[in-house]
Homo-oligomer: A and B are copies of this chain.
């Protein structure tokens, strides 16, 4: 498989794939003329990488986790890293949930403005602020 097909099937750009290789996240064989060749499993791997990126795991950290994933056994530090990322993600989920709850509260207030629930109506310190005083 050449790079374009992997990119299409994984839903990323070819630039991204070269970037992953540059970061040591994705290996490739080369043809005699220098073009990259990938195994089928590359698609799955790229999707895994994407999932980690979406979770806010930086490439350096993924790089440290991958040997543990690939070989199926890792050093204690690698385990610590996996656990650490896990708890970071859990914390991020909590933050997002809190933000969503705030948003729900604000949506509720915006729908039914009442002085007791809306600080802005009691203390209009932020009422009209200048659009762009420049």
Give A residues with C-beta under 8 Å from B.
24, 27, 29, 39, 41-42, 44-45, 48, 51-52, 54-55, 57, 65-66, 68-74, 78-79, 82-83, 85-86, 89-90, 92-93, 95-100, 102-104, 106-107, 109-110, 113, 118-121, 123-127, 129-133
Contact = CB atoms under 8 A, between A and B. Distances in A.
B129 A95 contact: no
Nearest to A100: B89
28 contacts: A24-B129, A39-B125, A41-B119, A41-B123, A42-B125, A51-B95, A51-B99, A52-B102, A54-B95, A54-B96, A55-B95, A65-B106, A69-B106, A70-B120, A70-B124, A70-B126, A72-B109, A72-B120, A72-B121, A82-B103, A82-B106, A82-B110, A83-B107, A86-B103, A89-B99, A93-B93, A93-B97, A93-B100
A50 B95 CA distance: 10
Contact of A120 (B65, B71, B123, B125): B71
A27 B126 contact: yes
